[in-house]
Amino acid sequence: MFKIVSTREMLIKAQIEKYAVPAFNIHNLETLQVVIEVAMELRSPVILAGTPSTIEYAGDNYIVAMANVGANKYDIPIAVHLDHFQEIDGIKGGIEAGFKSVMIDASHKDFQGNVNTVKEVVEYAHRYDVAVEGELGKLIGKEDSLIVEEKDSVYTDPETASEFINLTGIDSLAVAIGTAHGLYKGSPKLDFLRLKKIKEKVRVPLVLHGASDVGDELVRKAISLGICKVNVATDLKIPFANAVKKYFKENPNENDIRKYMTPGKDAMREVVKHKIMVCGSNGRY
Which range, of 97-106, 142-151, 169-178, averages the lowest pLDDT?
Answer: 142-151
What residue type is 42 in one-letter code? Answer: L
Q: Is the pLDDT of residue 147 over 80?
A: no
Residues belonging to the binding site are 84, 105, 135, 181-182, 209-212, 231-234
Candidates 60, 83, 144, 171; catalytic one = 83
Q: Is the pLDDT of residue 204 over 90?
A: yes
Of 240, 232, 173, 230, give the one whose Cα is nearest residue 202: 173
Whole-angstrom Cα distance, residue 224 to residue 140? 24
Whole-angstrom Cα distance, residue 183 to residue 140? 10
Active site residue 83: yes
Contacts of 22 (CB under 8 A, 6+ apart): 44, 46, 47, 229, 230, 232, 272, 275, 276, 279, 281
CATH superfamily of 7-237+266-279: Aldolase class I (3.20.20.70)
pLDDT at position 150, please? Answer: 45
pLDDT at position 138, please? Answer: 64
pTM for the model: 0.91
Mean pLDDT (the chain) is 92
Of 107, 105, 85, give the one whose Cα is nearest residue 97: 85
pLDDT at position 148, please? Answer: 42
Residues belonging to the binding site for dihydroxyacetone phosphate are 182, 210-212, 231-234
Residues belonging to the binding site for Zn(2+) are 84, 105, 135, 181, 209
